Structure 1
Amino acid sequence: MTLSDAARVLALRCEPRVNELARRMARESFEQLPGYAGLPDDVKDLEIAATVRYGVRLFLRRVTEPDPGPGGLRLFRERAAQRAEEGVPLHLLLRTHALGAYVLWQLLRETAEPGEEGALIELVELLLRSHHSLVGAVAETYMDERSALEAERRERRRSLVRGFLDGTREPGRALLEQLGLDGPALVLAVALEPPADAGEDRDGPEPDGPQAGSEVTVRRRMRRIQTVLDQAFGAELLFLFDAGAGRAVVPRGCEPPGDLAERLRRACGAEVRIAAVPAATPEAVPEASRTAVEILRVARTCGLPPGPHVLDDVLLEFHLSRPGPSSHRIAALLDPVAGRPELLRTLRTHLAQHQDRRLTAALLGLHPNTVDNRLARLTELTGLDPSSPRGAALAIAALLLRDTAAGPDGAPAAG
């Protein structure tokens, strides 16, 4: 924007009043803004006054230098980042800039003499154009800084929660106060159920964190789960999630609503498993967390339908899955069919359906005779007869123990 000589002359007459204007803004004009009076005196007298002086001089310089260069707004961006870090509300920051533009307009109007109306209009147009760019830069920097600070806060909290749930951080008083825990708690484990064909004819356990869709989809679903949990318990819970599985701590040990699993299913559009384990004290939370995760794994391995689970639902199977001196011998009973995933899947489904051959066949899309043939072949190779009580118990224990010993890729762990 090219200004007339008259506009430049008017602007130059304002320059000697810059310091006076800065003091007036910092100590009088801005005081009328809600929240401004509570700012520290040094912020008002040093930083804000200095910023006002810089801003007014930058505006006056634009009268003679239409393009002051890319660094012209740098100080405003730095101040916006500082105010964001200090927690000054964005509306207060933007109001100071808006009011500052108005006070500068008052100075131009007071300084203008009769006959300089045209020059005054030119300067006001330049002021409005400059203010538009300034507010955009300030708001953008402020929001970027707040986003970075919030991400940092979430990551610190996430690290604390992870260490607490995993038992790698001692639950000292400072940590418990920071996490808001001072008594009994309820620990929840939540997992998205994989699609129906996710584990088709595969050996090894279902993953603890099933990838039910793309990574973005899974993260969105887990955030919806967190929202539902917060709403269900009326508080922002300590929630930690990774790749389709999460853990949450509910302070005060509140019982979950009876329809919680259904709420979660509707919210994320996928089947959800949820296990709840009470912890009598904050120190008991890590063990309760491990138990809740194990309940989900055992329930999935045993073929229980998605939904809410408690320890009593899988009491025997949970016990059978605990490693002991004989664990490797029992798990090895299925070694002869390790390379026959169709036999293992048939066995899992058959046991989960209480040895109902027709229901097993329907779920696998097979003829009942094919189910009989597969089970007969499994018995021939392993010596396990899933139709007998002892054979069924051994088969369940073998499946659970193989899952327990499996590595992240589903293969048996070394040693």
Structure 2
Amino acid sequence: MVSEAARTLAVRCEGRANSLARKLSREVFESVPGYAELPPEIKDLEIAATVRHGVRLFLRGVAHPPADPDGYALFRERAARRAEEGVPLHLLLRTYALGVHGLWQVIREEARPDESGAVAELVDLLLRAQTDVVGVVTERYLAEREALAAERAADGTRLAHRLLDGGLGPEDVRHADVDLTGPLLVLALGAEPAAPTPPGGPVGHHRRLRGLRSALARIPGAATTALLAEEPEGGDLAGRAVVPGCAGVPTGLAAHLSEGYGAPLYVAAAHAPDPAGVPEAARTAAEIVRIARASGLPADRVHRLDGVLLEFHLSRPGPGSDSIAGLLDPVGHRPELLATLRSHLELRLDRRATAAALGVHPNTVDKRLARLTALTGLDLSSPRGTALALAAQLLRETRRPAHGARDGA
């Protein structure tokens, strides 16, 4: 229950609502960093009106309870508008705190010496009301910012897919919110072949993509945020990305993106001189990821075409591709032989390095390779046999679905 003395004091204070609103919006709030840069119509009209509303809402709620149940609607609407305009949240909350202090000063000035009890009562109610208002304003502001961020992300995703898939015409490029002129760095991002499924199912998958998107927004040295086209869970790629205006590959990019993703990522890069060249660069980058994974290359660096030229050439489909890939069919049910072959080729036919990588004795490597030769006819001691084995492995690994059925036959 509010005392009669507190109600009487509230009525007297209400008469100063207009003058308090003018003073706060034109003088007091100027001390808040960033407030002076706001447009005059916001300061003199909207903010002043919000102050008047807040003062009257509080004082009338005290003088004539109950308070207006929808009195906070204006606060919510203005918080959403400030969020849309990009006004910092700290600026918004500081004006509300200063408004409460200004109202406290009015209460103190209007109170008579014998109204100390009424003053204490009003201050108690004012502090409680401040907690409610700050909560309402913060909640609505953050909700609006989150909605705006989601909308921008969706727009960026649509733009990325159209750009990567060749669906962006010259007119679209001219009207895009992102400057797409100049060189564009195109990335293909793939998880390690044996990477575990993210905990939490689809939620975990989306958390990783959110971390990846955040990392792409903070690429060292990049002039603008990258556009990410997310890929379905369980596919070869976690996503494809385009970094506008990036002529080189930023240092530490693979580690940076893997950290954001929360797991090692294969990162392949290709450059496009303009938007028209992005689809081809994206296809090349995606192939480089598949080749790097199939060849057992590490996921701790950015892979470029010049680093896998031979493998890229050998993995190109052609009239003899199925026959070459089929050379390894006789050992399709022997994963230890395939793993030994992959490591042996990756480590330049060094049997001791292969043994160390696999955690076996060098003699075991010799026995496995001899068995592979016996079953497939691929002689790794000859240049031709080595080249055939490399081509067969690459074609088999990069076209895994097509050969999976044959392995199980």
Q: TM-score category by the smaller chain?
A: 0.7 to 0.9
The superposition leaves residues 272-314 of structure 1 with CA deviations (integer Å, 9 ceiling, x where unpaired) of 6443323222311221122122123213322334434322222
Deviation at 1:149, TM superposition (A): 1.5
| Aligned match of 1:297 | 290
Structure 2 residue corresponding to 1:275, chosen from 268, 275, 281: 268
Residue 115 of structure 1 aligns to a residue in which SS?
helix
| Aligned match of 1:380 | 374
The superposition leaves residues 185-221 of structure 1 with CA deviations (integer Å, 9 ceiling, x where unpaired) of 3334455556xxx3xxxxxxxxxxx458654795587
Residue 394, structure 1, aligned to residue 388, structure 2: yes
Aligned partners of 1:13 and 1:111 also within 8 Å: yes
Deviation at 1:321, TM superposition (A): 1.1
- In the alignment, residue 226 of structure 1 is paired with which amino acid? L
Residue 226, structure 1, aligned to residue 216, structure 2: yes
Aligned partners of 2:10 and 2:63 also within 8 Å: no
Aligned partners of 1:212 and 1:218 also within 8 Å: no
Q: May I ask how many residue pairs the two structures share in their alignment?
A: 392
Residue 29, structure 1, aligned to residue 24, structure 2: yes
Query: Aligned partners of 2:272 and 2:315: how far apart in 1?
Result: 22
| Aligned match of 1:207 | none
| Aligned match of 2:146 | 147
- In the alignment, residue 133 of structure 2 is paired with which amino acid? L
Deviation at 1:30, TM superposition (A): 0.3
Deviation at 1:83, TM superposition (A): 2.2
Structure 1 gaps of 5+ residues are 199-209
Change (3 A) 1:325 1:171: farther
Q: Mean Cα displacement is larger for which, 110-119 or 65-74?
A: 65-74
Within 5 Å, give how 1:211-250 maps onto structure 2: 211=196, 214=199, 215=204, 222=212, 226=216, 230-233=219-222, 235-239=224-228, 245-250=238-243
Aligned partners of 2:187 and 2:242 also within 8 Å: yes
Deviation at 1:362, TM superposition (A): 2.6
Aligned partners of 2:188 and 2:269 also within 8 Å: yes
Change (3 A) 1:107 1:310: closer
The superposition leaves residues 229-251 of structure 1 with CA deviations (integer Å, 9 ceiling, x where unpaired) of 72244654445566785544444
Higher RCO by CA contacts (8 Å cutoff, separation 6 or greater) = 1
Residue 270 of structure 2 aligns to a residue in which SS?
strand
- Provide the alpha-carbon RMSD of the alignment: 3.9
Within 5 Å, give how 1:298-337 maps onto structure 2: 298-306=291-299, 307-337=301-331
Aligned partners of 1:253 and 1:279 also within 8 Å: no
Residue 371 of structure 2 aligns to a residue in which SS?
helix
Q: Mean Cα displacement is larger for which, 361-370 or 258-267?
A: 258-267
- With structure 2 as the length reference, what TM-score do the two structures score? 0.78
Residue 93 of structure 1 aligns to a residue in which SS?
helix
| Aligned match of 1:201 | none
Change (3 A) 1:363 1:176: farther
The superposition leaves residues 345-382 of structure 1 with CA deviations (integer Å, 9 ceiling, x where unpaired) of 22222222223333323322233343333333333333
Change (3 A) 1:258 1:145: closer
Structure 2 gaps of 5+ residues are none
Query: Aligned partners of 2:25 and 2:313: how far apart in 1?
Result: 69
Residue 230 of structure 1 aligns to a residue in which SS?
coil
Query: Aligned partners of 1:115 and 1:411: how far apart in 2?
Result: 93
Residue 346, structure 1, aligned to residue 340, structure 2: yes
| Aligned match of 2:127 | 128
